[in-house]
Structure 1
Amino acid sequence: MDEFDLDDDVFDGLDESDLQELERPAKRQKSSHIDPATPAAPVAHDPRYLTLAKKLLAEKFGYADFRHEQAGAIQSLLAGNNTLAIFPTGAGKSLCYQIPAIAFPELDRTEGRAPENAGLTIVVSPLIALMKDQVDALQKRGISADSIDSTKTWEQQREIYAKIRRSELRILYCAPERLNNEGFVISIRDVPGGIRLLAVDEAHCVSEWGHSFRPDYLKVARFVDEVKAERVVCLTATATPQVAQDICKAFKIEEACVYKTSPYRPNLELHARSIEGDDGSANEILDAMLGFTGKTEADKRFGELFAFLRANPGPTLIYVGLQNQAEIHASVLSEQGFSAAAFHGGMKTEDKARIQEDFMASRIQIICATIAFGMGIDKPDIRNIVHWDLSNTVEEYSQQIGRAGRDGKPSRCMFYLAPSAFYLREVFARGDLPSRPSLKALFQDILNQARGRAVGDVFKVSHWHQGKEFDIRDSPLSVIYATLELRFGLFRATTPEYSSYKFEASKSYFPVIKNDETPAGKAVFSHAKKKVKFHDMDVNAACKATGLNRNDIIGKLNKLNELGHIKLMTKGIEHRYVIKKKLPETESEINAILDKLYVDMVGRENDAVSRGREVMDLITGRKCFALQLAEHFGMGLPDGKLKCGHCTYCITGIPVKPPRRPLTHTTTASIRGVLKATTVRDDPRLLARVAFGIRSPRISQLKLDKSNVFRSLAHHDFEALLREFTKVCN
């Protein structure tokens, strides 16, 4: 998988749930002085801010005026305030940091600040594709912008750092994971002029209660303090009032500096159709679930889809749940004469780039995609958004339909409800919960790694090894660590380390390092051991021998790399944690935390399940789709309207009927088939996952995902499968 790319293969390493009806842990209390759902009183700003912002908007971007609340957010930032912008997808959130970034030098001239101290704007963004699009667009407009990511060559990264040192770069994009890189933090905190602005895109990821919580986002606020950023702007299209509260708390944003716009777009027609499957065999139903054609719902939906696309030509995004569905849909549509291509996270980087470019240039009309496609795509003439499967959350649905009709022209959003949607929703919503034995073994291993150390000491772990050993995929493993840190206060994540540093020396390396009289330079010269082509550098050994701080030596290696004297390579990430209090030792203490941790994990799953129900309620409810969508984000329709007038409910006055989910009764014979394929008897949830068709590290290691019993009982109820396998394992 590409660095910072979304992992949209939902069957890769997912753990299934036990569906216990445990209550969600109580959410944190809302702040009494910040309510983003209620508009704050407008703040008066220096008029020169708006004058300058409009001038740059016209000169650099070709627009006559700002839209929605852009002007307010930009003036707030130029005045030095931390700011939150909640704008719908396509409403121009990026201008809220791009305009200030290029305005700083002009403001500085009026305040006597030297040009070489114009500083840097850092944009924290989650996807390489998004960074690339933004950087390309800015460079075409003559704005100095670039990104640090895994696609950059050594020479390209050297040039980026050189531009930063010369104060020639205005905007730098990076992923949230980059902020944990010790070399990056050290290099960036000494930028000439400082960090003028830190922009946090997809800021809802910072909230534990957000629809796509990412633990690495929790460390963005800490990075603000580490690099002494002058101001922060948080941007999101999908912040509910509770999530907005969390963002404001994390980044110290006052009520008057929250700017928001309703997600309602009058040019978007929101439609839904319920497609019932035939009363066919279990295998036919399963085929429909996975997107294959046959005498099932798939044929019915394809017929509907063909008719819809012919009646509504134009650039179209079709969202599916699985990678193989994207391939099948693109193939079937191509056979019907449509210009279609697939896009998903399992494709090669160069293929994804080519397909995206072809779609942007209208050489391809239809993209059949997983959630890996769309974020950061700014194609104004997308006419249709089609949902083949149930969105995981209302927020995800809102983001995806927001990619249509950005040119203001009428666009259609069609949602096909079919029995297969229930299966995929269950996989997505319940895939991250580890089995209780796995969680207990993981927690014990964490304690073992930290045992013998005092409060304030650091211990190291490899998430990769732990995930593989304890059958927990990356995402829930990161959440477990974040929960132990945030809810239980056992330790605090700090900058990860690479276990291995090596470099290839250029011709200039030896003359430079021999004459380097700094302690760090001497340490590198003494401890970097040449082995054929590369030098190996044991940083920890060098620190122990010289008494130097690790940051000093890492900083020297990074500086040598930036100046082209070496080509630095790192690998083997070790996550580091500072012990914050005495760790539990007795069995009762350990079990008390483990019980709460497991309840929290189950609660997260229940929350995910309820989010799926919210999507179904929106599509099948007795209310205007657009109104329900706006109300989900604590807002309403313009002028207090109760109807948009052109969604399915407004047109028909009849709610969309939910489709029936066909299920097969679980029998002893069906269970016996799975048991014959493996000797595993210590984890009923693993057996249920095999039968239901969800991969996990252990399942892949045992190659059970290659067995003919894998996904053989996907048309059964998972709770029933779990009960039956629990009987066998007890």
Structure 2
Amino acid sequence: MDEFDFDDDVFDDLDEAELEELERPAKRQKSSHPASAPNAEEHLALAQRLLTEKFGYAAFRHEQAGAIQSILAGNNALAIFPTGAGKSLCYQIPAIAFPELDRAEGRASENAGLAIVVSPLIALMKDQVDALRKRGISADSIDSTKTWDQQIEIYARIRNSQLRILYCAPERLNNEGFVVSIRDVPGGIRLVAVDEAHCVSEWGHSFRPDYLKVARFVDEIKAERVICLTATATPQVAEDICKAFKIDESCVYKTSPYRPNLELHAKTIESPGAADDIIGALFGHEVKTETDKRYEELFRFLRANPGPTLIYVALQQQAEHHASALCKQGFSAAAFHGGMKTDVKAKIQDDFMASRVQIICATIAFGMGIDKPDIRNIVHWDLSNTVEEYSQQIGRAGRDGKPSRCMFYLAPSAFYLREVFARGDLPSRSSLKGLFEDILNQARGRAVGEVFNVSHYHQGREYDIRDSPLSVIYATLELRFGIFRATTPEYSSYKFQASKSYFPAIQGDKAPEAKAILSHAKKKLKWHEMDVNGACKATGLNRMNIVGKLNKLHELGHINLVTKGIEHRYTIQKKLPATEAEKNEVLDKLYADLVGRENDALNRGREVMELITGQKCFALQLAEHFGMGLPDGKLKCGHCTYCITGIQVKPPRRPLSSTNSESIQGVLKATPIRDDPRLLARVAFGIRSPRISQLKLDKLSVFRSLAHHDFEALLREFTKVCD
């Protein structure tokens, strides 16, 4: 079993002399500009040698060399390279170069320090760690799949300067024990690499609140330098990243997303009934191939363009149905989506990589870290969420340099799907107010510096707020208002079934943690319930030591341990808002921020539509979105749909029904809710939320009954009823 804060006490066994020995050396001086570094040529020669010896490449590509030189010179840098352009080398080479760099510059030491890579995907971390180890490079990752003993071993290797690169998720940076431990590693933190750095920016297409805390982490551990990496940063996002990590404009390295071997195509398919079918698919209805004309186009396209293919869809059921339909037509196809078990997904991915399956029908869950060079086709069945997402996905095709095709099918259902996704995150102001009052109530009575616990799960359902906006709200209260600071989450419930070996093992274990478990685990029917916090208070033992012992018993097969109820923990940073004026000031800013996010999400969908239906070369418009252009100032790629035909792709028609009192009354009669007009509008439009699911309003016949109406018009009508 895993516990979020295993590493709180990794250094508890060291005495003062050992701790003093671990203190990092004085921070090394940065040069003011990479070009001004006196050893720039030596740095490049070292990097070139490591590139060949360790990675087997003859030369750097794109702006890799410039970014690496910046890092070796001691500067922070930003690398904006297309998907598949080798961003990882920009931190891997410096990480293994530091020992030689130190010797060359007269700073030789047994403690060459550590490079930390912040990455959002465990699978990606594992793949990179495995690849580095095969090349003889010492690397590892701290993630939720690691056992207690594995984590202890990793920290021992860090203490002994036996690890060059450590991967971790951004959520790990909330762990106070991790921050303390990492801050004091021998040789210091030489480099922090921030992968998918666009997640730092609130303007980024996949903003993640935990990424906002990475810059604070960099300061807290006194990292020598930072490199941020992304394939998709608009000028505004790049500016946000540079501001957060103090990156000079001269240290920004970017390459145009233009790939001359990619043919970008689009086609509008006006299919009567297709919109209704896709809307129905959201809620479990089968999509009929005969009513959606895109299927005939898809079959024709795949027969004309054989080869490994990724088909991106919006819904899990679509992925399943598409794979089935393709197999019936004689294609080799499989579905892939987030609802599948991990081992099933792993097998499908392996089959695709080995070309045992030719076509993958997938949601956006597939593709991150996929490096299959011979993907010949990318098909978008539905409107991408953002231009950035579209750019990432097409970037997975043709990495071998051979011609590859990217087809985008446009249908009326695209509008509805994008609105469902965009409209689902904004809570009503009354919901936000209730949440804020609940947070203050949980924290009230505690002094600055004390910790309070909350359950995001229960708050999300109580106040009808999805997980994503809830995490944004908490991050905003933490980072913008400074009210509290997130610390290590913990499970609220530990229970286990004892095997036959449990009592002999626990009774024979003389450790104080074993005695605490034996005396505080109360058997109820077949389960033993363990009050971990109660045991800590009664014995004075550290929580993580008791949790570690439980995990050890589980790993040895003495117990079957089950944990539940993650509780998030926050340390109060300052006096809480008390007056109505103080609370309303915070609420107003919070709600305005959330409204802005909804508008931004809607605009992102429009940007994708404009890219595909604009009067301009697709490739040029895509490059301009990222503040760049085509090579040599060209205005046309020559092989996209617009360049070939010279005709603008017509956007699909969006039929909207007029809202009338009869249809509104039908929804009102079916549900007694009158305290939240947004909830009523969601029911009518067909958008699930925690409260709607809890009250089973999505099972009513009126759910999505007004899906072809304007959402804002529905909201206005239901607001009149609720006022």
TM-score, normalised relative to structure 1: 0.84
User: Pick from 85, 90, 94: which aligns with 1:91?
Assistant: 85
CA-to-aligned-CA distance 1:590-646 (integer Å, 9 cap, x gap): 233322322221111111111111111111111111111111111111111111111
Q: Is the 8 A contact 1:125 1:173 kept in 2?
A: yes
In 2: Cα distance, 1:620 partner to 1:163 partner: 55
The secondary structure found in structure 2 opposite 1:117 is coil
Is 1:609 equivalent to 2:602 in the alignment?
A: yes
2:624 aligns to what?
A: 631
The AA in structure 2 aligned to 1:133 is D
| CA deviations over 1:519-549 (Å, ceiling 9, x no partner) | xxx8997799552798957458857986x9x
Question: Which residue pairs with 1:354 in the alignment?
Answer: 347
Mapped to 1, the partners of 2:652 and 2:389 lie a distance apart of 21
AA of the residue aligned to 2:42: R
Counterparts of residues 415-426 of structure 1 (less than 5 Å): 415-426=408-419
| From 507, 516, 521, the counterpart of 1:531 | 521
1:331 corresponds to: 324
1:204 — aligned with what?
Answer: 198
SS for the counterpart of 2:615 is: coil
The answer to whether the 8 Å contact 2:686/2:703 transfers is: yes
Q: Tell me, in whole angstroms, the C-alpha distance in 1 between the residues paired with 2:152 and 2:562.
A: 13
The answer to whether residue 429 in structure 2 is matched with residue 436 in structure 1 is: yes
Which residue pairs with 2:172 in the alignment? 178
Question: Match for residue 149 of structure 1?
Answer: 143
CA distance in 2, matches of 1:331, 1:61: 41
**Quick check: 1:508–1:565 contact (8 Å CA) kept in 2?**
no
Question: Which residue of 287, 292, 304 corresponds with 1:292?
Answer: 287
| Structure 2 Cα separation of the partners of residues 149 and 227 of structure 1 | 19
- SS for the counterpart of 1:396 is helix
CA distance in 1, matches of 2:158, 2:565: 28
SS of residue in 1 equivalent to 2:409? strand
Say if 2:336 and 2:345, in contact at 8 Å, map to a contact too.
yes
SS in 2 for 1:681: coil
Task: Classify 1:206/1:510 alpha carbon distance in 2 versus 1 (closer, same or farther; 3 Å).
Answer: farther
Q: Which moved more, 1:186-195 or 1:634-643?
A: 186-195
Distance of aligned partners of 1:410 and 1:118 in 2 relative to their CA distance in 1, 3 Å threshold: same
Q: Does 1:577 align with 2:573?
A: no
| Cα contact 2:490–2:569 (8 A) shared by 1 | yes
Tell me the residue number matched to 1:223. 217
Deviates more, 1:447-456 or 1:56-65: 447-456
TM-superposed deviation, 1:329: 0.9
Structure 2: stretches of 5+ with no match in the other structure: 5-32
Which one-letter code corresponds to 1:67 in the other structure? R
- How far is the alpha carbon of 1:680 from its aligned partner? 2.3
Which residue in the other structure is 1:16 paired with?
none
Cα distance in 1 between the residues matched to 2:411 and 2:638: 25
Residue matched to 1:709: 702
Partners of 1:344 and 1:362 in 2: how far apart? 19
1:277-333 CA-partner distances (Å, limit 9, x unpaired): 22x59856745888712553x2x1111111111111111111111111111111111
- Determine the structure 1 residue equivalent to 2:381: 388
- Aligned counterpart, 2:713: 720
Letter of the structure 2 residue corresponding to residue 308 of structure 1 = F
Q: Does the CA contact (< 8 Å) of 2:3 and 2:491 recur in 1?
A: no
Q: Residue 468 of structure 1 contacts residue 698 of structure 1 at CA under 8 Å; is this kept in 2?
A: yes
Q: Does 1 or 2 have the higher relative contact order (CA < 8 Å, sep 6+)?
A: 1
Instruction: Evaluate the alpha carbon distance shift between residue 3 and residue 368 of structure 1 in structure 2; reply closer, same or farther with a 3 A threshold.
Output: farther
What RMSD over aligned residues (CA atoms) do the two structures have, in Å? 3.4
Aligned to 1:476: 469
Matches within 5 A, 1:394-413: 394-413=387-406
Between the aligned residues of both structures, percent identity stands at 78
Aligned residues between the structures: 679
The 3 A distance-change label for structure 1 pair 154 and 361 is farther
What is the aligned partner in structure 2 of residue 586 from structure 1? 579
Contact 2:398–2:404 (CA under 8 A) maintained in structure 1: yes
Asked if 1 retains the 8 angstrom alpha-carbon contact of 2:34 and 2:73, the reply is: no
What letter corresponds to residue 270 of structure 2 in structure 1? E
Q: CA deviation at 1:494?
A: 4.0
Distance 1:266 1:529, change over 3 A: farther
C-alpha distance 208-274 of structure 1, shift in aligned 2 (>3 A): same
Structure-2-length-normalised TM-score: 0.85
CA contact (8 A) 1:462 1:573 kept: yes
Contact 1:287 1:294 in 2 (8 A): no
Q: Does 1:72 align with 2:72?
A: no
- How far apart in 1 are the matches of 2:663 and 2:262? 47
Gap change, CA 1:631 and 1:283, over 3 Å in 2? closer
Q: In the alignment, residue 135 of structure 2 is paired with which amino acid? A: R
SS in 1 for 2:117: strand
Contact 1:383–1:405 (Cα < 8 Å) also in 2: yes
Unpaired runs of at least 5, structure 1: 5-39, 515-521
Q: Distance in 2 between matches of 1:495 and 1:282?
A: 45
Tell me the distance in 2 between the aligned counterparts of 1:565 and 1:81: 46
Correspondence for 2:49: 55
What pairs up with 1:536-555 in 2 under 5 angstroms?
538=532, 542=536, 553=542
